[in-house]
Chain A
Amino acid sequence: MSTASPDTLIFATGALAAVSLGLPLLASAWPWQARRIGLLGLPLAILGLLAAVGLFLDAAPGMDAPAVRVGLGGWEAPLGVTLHLDGLALAMLLLNALVALAGSLYARGYIHTAAGERQFWPLWLWLWGGLNLLVLSGDAFNLFITLEIASLSAVALVALTGDTDAVTGAMRYLLINLLGSLSFLLGAALLYGEFGVLDLQLLGELADDGPTVRMAAALMLGGLLMKAAVFPLHVWLATAHASAPAPVSGMLSGMVVAAMFYLILRLWLLIFAPLGTPALAVLLGLLGSAALVWGSLQALRAPRLKIVAAYSTVAQMGYITLAFPILILHPAAWPVVVFFAFAHGLAKAAVLMAAGTVQKAAGHDRMNALGPVLRARGRTVFALGLGGISLMGLPLTGGFLAKYLLLEAGLLAAADTTTIMQVWTALWVVMVALGSLLATAYILRMVAPAFAAGERNPGGHVSAGMEWMPLALAVGAAAMGLAGASLTGLLEHTTVAA
C-alpha cells in the first residue's frame, strides 16, 4: 500500500515544471536580485526534487505504468502537451540540480561585478530551467522549443566572458545548435505527417520500421549527436567549453552534453529501438572509438588546462557513444548510459571548475606555467585529481562503476551474437581499456606539476566556494561508485517501448 496518491505526484510534476520556468522568469524580471533568487531557489528546488523522488519511489510499485504523465492544460495526448516523469527523467533532473547548485555556489565567487551578476544569473537560471523542461517534456515539438531555450541560454553564457575566443566559440556553438534543432524539428514534422501525433509515447506505439521512421531517426538523432559533439561533429566543443566562464564550462560539459545523450536514449527507448541493426552498431562503435582516441590525443597535447578538460569531454562522449552499439545488441544495458552521464557529469564539472579556480588564481591556464599555483593549492589539486580518477575509472569511483557496467554489458552482448559482432564487441572492450589508459595520461598531465619540486605561489585570491565546490563535486563523483544501487532502483521505473 503506497502512501503517495497519484494526485500528489501529478502536482509534484507540474510544480517542478512551474518552478523550472518561474525561477528564471523572476530572475529575468528582476536581475538586481537574481543571485539571491538563484541561491535561494535552487536549494529549495533540490529539496522539492528529493521529495518527488521519494514520492515516486513510494508510489512506483503500485502504478500501472512506470511514469507519471501530466496532460498540461488538462488536455491529454495527442491533443495536449504531456509532461513525462519517470525514473530516467528524475535521475537527470537530479544531476542537473546538483551540477547547477554547485555551479551557483561557485559562481558566487567567480562573478564578482554587480553588472556581470545581473547578466549572468538570469541566463544561468534559464540554462538550468531549460534543461529541466527538456528532461520533463514528453512531446516531440515541445522538445524542440526546450532544446532551443537550453541552447540559446548556453550560447549567451559562453559569450559572456567577452573575449574573442569566447565569442567565436559561442557563434560556432549557436550555428551548430540551430542546425541540430532544425534537423530535429524536420524529423518531428515527418513523424507527425505519418502518424498524426507528436507525443513520444504514442509515437512509440505507432512507429514501425518504415521509411518515415528511418528518415526521422536519422534527422533527429543526427541533430542531437551534433549538439552532443559526437565525433566527427565535435569541432565546436573545445572552444565553446574552454572559453566559457568556469561554472558555465562545468554545466556545459557536465550536464548539457549529457542532456543530449539523455534525449537520444529517450527517443531510442521509446521510438527508434526497432531500427537497431548490426551495421548501425558498427558505425556508432567506430564513431565512439574515433572520438575516444582523437579527443584523448588532443587532450594530451592541448596547451591549456581548460582545453585539456574540454577535449577530455570529447573523449568521454566517445564512451557514451560506445554504449549504444552494445545496447543495440543487448537492449537491457541502457542504464549504462545514465551511469556514464552521471559519473562523467559530476567528475567533469569538478575538473572544469577546479581548472577555473586555478585559472583565476594564476591569471592564466597555460599548462607549462601552472606549477607554482598547483603546488600551493592542495584542495583544488585534490579536486582535479579525484575528478580525474573517476574519469579514468579507478575502482570504487563512479567512473569505475560505469565502465564496469559497460564491459559487463559488452560481454553479455557478445555472448548472444554472431562471430563477426563478437569481434567488433571485443574491439570496443579494448577501446574502453585503451581510453582509460589515455585518460590516465592526460589526467596525470594536469596534476603532475603539483608534485614536482619547485616554487609555490597560491596566486590571486579565490573565494571559498571556488575551492570547495569542485571538491564536493569530485567527492560526489567518487561516491557514485557506492551509491550506484539506488540509481539502479530509480532507473527500474522507466518507460521503455515494448
Chain B
Amino acid sequence: MIESLDPGTLYPFGGAALFALGLHGLIRRRHLILRILAVNIMGSGVFMVFLGIAARGNAPPDPVAQALTLTGIVVAVSATAFALALTVHLARLTGYAVLLPGPLQTHRDSHPDDR
C-alpha cells in the first residue's frame, strides 16, 4: 500500500502540517520577524498543497496549478518585503520590533493637555 504513495499524495499532508505550524508560530510569537517568517511558512504549506495537487496521479503535472503557485510565491515575496520594511519603520518609531498587546496611546483616556 505504501508503495502506491506518490509524492503528489504525500506532500499535501506535509503542506497541511506546515500551514498549521506556521499558524501556531504566528499566534504564539510576538517578535515581528518571527511572525513574518511564520506567515511565509504558512504560505509554503499552501503552495505545497497546490503543487501536490498538480502532481497527483500518473499524468504529467498540471501546469495551471504550478503557474498559480509561481504567482503566489511572487505575491508572498512582495508582501514579505513590504512587511519587513514596515517592521523596520515600527522599530524606528518605538524601539521595539514587537506588537505589544493592550491599549495604544489613542485608546488611553487621559492626555496631558486635558489637565
Question: Interface of A with B (CB < 8 Å)?
Answer: 79, 141, 144-145, 148, 152, 155-156, 159, 162-165, 167-172, 174-175, 178-179, 182, 185-186, 189-190, 192-193, 198, 238-239, 242-243, 302-304, 306-307, 364, 366, 368-369
Contact = CB atoms under 8 A, between A and B. Distances in A.
A171 B49 contact: no
B106 A242 contact: yes
Closest 6 CB pairs of A and B: A193-B53, A303-B109, A186-B46, A189-B50, A189-B49, A167-B90
Interface of B: 12, 19, 23, 26, 32, 35, 39, 42-43, 45-46, 49-50, 53, 56, 64-65, 68, 71-72, 75, 78-79, 82-83, 86-87, 89-90, 93-94, 99-100, 104-109, 111, 113-114
Contacts of B72: 144, 185
B106 A307 contact: yes
Contacts of A364: 111, 113
B115 to A, nearest CB: 11
Contact of A366 (B49, B90, B100, B111): B111
Contact of B75 (A148, A162, A168): A148
A182 B68 CA distance: 13
Given A152-B82, A172-B99, A369 B87 contact: no
A304 B109 CA distance: 8
A141 B90 CA distance: 32
Given A165-B104, A171-B87, A192 B93 contact: no
Given A182-B43, A192-B50, A167 B93 contact: yes
A168 to B, nearest CB: 6
A189 B46 contact: yes
A145 B78 CA distance: 11
B49 A190 contact: yes
Given A152-B79, A303-B108, A182 B42 contact: yes
A145 B53 contact: no
A155 B46 contact: no
A145 B75 contact: yes
A384 to B, nearest CB: 19
A19 B53 CA distance: 35
B93 A164 contact: yes
Given A148-B79, A174-B79, A307-B107, 13 more contacts: A79-B64, A141-B71, A152-B82, A164-B104, A165-B105, A165-B106, A167-B89, A171-B32, A171-B83, A302-B107, A303-B106, A303-B108, A366-B114
Contacts of A156: 82
B17 to A, nearest CB: 13
A422 B49 CA distance: 42
A144 B83 CA distance: 18
Contact of A159 (B32, B64, B86): B86
Given A189-B46, A192-B65, A303-B109, A167 B86 contact: yes
Contacts of B86: 155, 159, 167, 170-171, 174
A369 B113 contact: yes
B78 to A, nearest CB: 8
Given A155-B86, A171-B99, A368 B43 contact: no
A182 B46 contact: yes
Given A159-B89, A182-B39, A368 B46 contact: no
9 contacts: A145-B71, A148-B75, A171-B83, A182-B39, A185-B72, A192-B50, A193-B12, A198-B68, A239-B106
